[in-house]
Amino acid sequence: MQEFGAKVEVTIEEELKKSYLDYAMSVIIGRALPDVRDGLKPAHRRILYAMFKEGLLWNKKYSKCAGVVGEVLKKYHPHGDAAVYDTLVRMAQDWNMRYPLIDGQGNFGSIDGDPPAAYRYTEARLARISEEMLLDLEKETVDFVPNYDGSTEEPRVLPARLPNLLVNGSAGIAVGMATNIPPHNLGEVIAGVAAVIDDPEIETKALMKLVPGPDFPTGGYIHGMAGIKEAYETGKGLIQVRGKVMVETHARTGKTSILITEIPYQLNKTRLIERIAELVRAKKLEGVSDLRDESDREGMRIVVELKKDANPAVVRNNLFKHTPLQDSFGIIMLAIVDNRPQVLPLKQMLELFVKHRKEVVTRRCLFELKKAEEREHILIGLQKALDQLDAVIALIRKSKTPPEAKDGLIKKFDFTERQALAILDMRLQRLTGLERQKILDELKEVKAEIKRLKEILGSEKKILGVVKSELLEIKQKYADPRRTEIVAREEEMTVEDLIAEEDMVVTISHSGYIKRNAVSLYRAQRRGGRGKTGMTTREEDFVEDLFIASTHSHILFFTNRGKAYCVKVHEIPQAGRAAKGKAIVNLINVDQGEQVQAILPVRAFEEGKYILMATKRGLVKKTDLMAYANIRANGLIACVIEAGDELIAARLTDGERDIILSSRNGKAVRFKESEARPMGRATRGVKGMSLGKGDELISLDVIGNGEVTLLSATERGYGKRSAVEEYPLHHRGGQGVITIKTTERNGKVAGVLQVTDEDELMLITSGGKIVRIRVKDISVLSRNTQGVRLISPEQGEKVAAVSRLAEQEEGNGENSGEHETPASDQEPAGGDAEAEEE
């Protein structure tokens, strides 16, 4: 045996390890984590027990909280008074506890974060539901352990007739672990417990029909079932919670407001309002004119008043995005099981509660059986005494002292000591006929009770039946409707959800600059008189494309290497009228040497639309528009381009149009688009036109509706227009017919365009010279002709390109207005995108 006071050498590592583990287990078991059986941490349990012992029941008068705190500190919980009072206060707050366990009177704080009054001012008593946690405590249903100084005892766990751990939830941070169990609806949880009793093999999926998810005291919404399912199956999961928001229009003023009537669990209302105000001041939340808190005793009401031009849906989405009005709740169902922390799935948690209640009911029945058998023993003695009443009375009268009488009864009538004492204590009035009958009736009842208790104890099924029936009583008494609504998970909010949808004028220059402006601003600047140009360009540049698209629309860019890129309209820089915009190559991640050949606005990706492409070597390819719905930032393959070939054009179609392909040597073929079957993206396409030696494809046109003609321009500056009807319908892959003669005078074809009389063209020479001409000034001639002079190139120059001008020249008269560009250059008739030019 080691001598007291002797030195013991230990390594510091071992001592630190042992001390830290002792401390960690003390925090885990004795402070931070709830017991799976009653769902309480030691501090909560001690407060409830102290109030129960003091007689502060729900139907008794309130008592000062200072007295409760003092009693808890004195007998059970030797920690700080602030910690005990804070714990007591939280159990009385109906925005923290789904079913408050303490009935408080006075200032117990608020959801705004206001602190409670000092404990000398507040009063409390047990809530009615708390007594269900403490019921049968005196019937040896749970173990008692000595308190911290051994002066009294406290229960190791409460009998807990209700599944408090799930019903009120729990949160706590221990050493190296944490618990975060959300509150649930009492009726739903009890239905789940009953289901586990009825069918021990029940699966989580079936349980979730009865317990669909958490039910927060503050209401709100839970979005999606995936996180709940994961938490219930594994014990851990992440759910998305949202406040309840609605849009209201004032009947008198017509002003639109967003009302917040419910907020996520444990969110401080004042901090939410302050956060909204900060966003408004920082101009991160636009469209808000006023912010008020109109909450009262009737309920919560935060009013976010909107400006006249504000979009309520966008403001609402920004509130969800930038404030805690939408938040994530991480579920960790960690609790103490047999003195060890354990993460519990839903079913196991319910099973452990059933196990606890089964033990409580068994111990209660054993206690009651013991008491009933003791009473039966005495009643049998009284009955026996009444049957021999005269002899008993005579013996008692002869006895000189009570001990002598007791011994005489035991010896002569064979009574036990307890029976003899009961006979001696019996009052004379019990000898009347009526009282004798009461003894006999009571004996009968006690025998029946003993039989009932033995039957229960002899059958596990009957014990579980008692557990279930008591739970259903609790449900009948305290269950209430669900407050938190579980709705289908919304898709993750995108940038579009935070941007108001409005039409923008997108302007693209020939040199590859792009910008956008609001339609309202653009039209206001251009209405009447001479008008103003939509983009300032260099002398050698001009606006080649101009169309209207929503901020939520997409713009597809197709390059000569067969790659597709996508940009949202709201991602295009918004620049003033005098700005030229941003270079397209800086907006998308094109590779070196890659050039944009086609730009297509797409309002929505939908079935029944196609992208039709053509390559320099005469191949065409049609792909479903839906194949381009998800384009990565670095683009994706739209068409496989072989060495020496390149993409020259792409058009958006409906699959039912006529197509015209034109070549450098003055040939054109017209065929039905349906002859080109839809293909996947990573394919090379099919032959659209058979090209002669040295020939190449230079244009792809989708025949539009209305009065359109096909304009052909040659390198030597000649050109003409031909009626579309002059181009007969052939099959795909043919050599085509002559569109313009490529004689020595004309040279090769520089460009072919589908035009209307209102269009204006820009002819660009190889020397950089630009000439602007009106389409209506160009003659309409038959196909097999040489055309007329359009431009006189300088010596050594030739026409390099022909482009349609998207804006008319300033000063063209008062009728400068908006009208559509041909359908072939944008979308088929009935398409979503509009085009605007002046």
Q: Which residues are catalytic?
A: 121
Which H or E element spans position 699?
Answer: strand 697-702
Question: Distance (Å, rounded) from C-alpha 528 to C-alpha 511?
Answer: 29
CA distances from 212 to 202, 209, 229, 240 (A): 15, 6, 9, 15
Q: Which of 681, 678, 704, 701 is nearest to 689 (CA)?
A: 701
Altogether, the residues listed in the chain come to a count of: 838
Rg (CA), the chain: 44
Spatial separation of the C-alpha atoms in residues 727 and 739, rounded to whole Å: 8
Nearest 5°: CA angle at 288, between 285 and 293? 105
**DSSP assignment string, 803-827:** EEESSPPTTS-TT---BPPPGGGS-
Return d(Cα 227, Cα 555) in angstroms, integer: 36
Measure the CA angle with vertex 248, ends 486 and 483; round to 5°: 25
Residues 158 and 343: their CA atoms lie apart, in Å, by: 21
How far out from the chain centre does Cα 277 lie?
A: 24
- Rounded CA gap, 674 and 685, in Å? 14
Rounded Cα–Cα distance for residues 226 and 487 (Å): 11
Q: How many CA atoms lie within 13 A of 561 on its CB side?
A: 11
The secondary structure of residue 458, as a DSSP letter, is T
C-alpha span between 315 and 801 (Å, rounded): 47
- Which tokens sit at 335? 């609790």
Q: How far apart are the C-alpha atoms of 598 and 558, rounded to whole Å?
A: 5
63-to-86, 122, 284 alpha-carbon distances in Å: 17, 8, 50
Helix, coil or strand: residue 104 = strand
Going by C-alpha positions, the residue among 78, 176, 198, 89 that lies closest to residue 461 is 198
| Exposure letters 666-692 (e unless 16+ CB within 10 A, then b) | bbbbbbebeebeebebeeebbebbebe
Nearest of 563, 642, 649 to residue 598 by alpha carbon:
649
Bridge partner list, 773: 761
List beta partners, residue 754. 710
Round to whole Å and give the CA distance between 489 and 222: 8
The rounded distance, in Å, linking the Cα atoms of 39 and 34 is 5
Q: Does residue 92 sit in helix, strand or coil?
A: coil
CA distance 600 to 826: 7
Q: 3-state DSSP call for residue 596?
A: strand
Which amino acid is located at 437 in the chain? Q
Determine the Cα–Cα distance for residues 416 and 422; give it in Å rounded to an integer. 10
3-state secondary structure 17-34: HHHHHHHHHHHHHHHHCC
User: Beta strands 221-223 and 485-487: pairing type?
Assistant: parallel
What the block records as the tokens of 476 is 């009948």
Can you say whether the dihedral through the CA atoms of 763, 766, 768, 769 is positive or negative?
A: negative
User: What one-letter code names the amino acid at 508?
Assistant: I
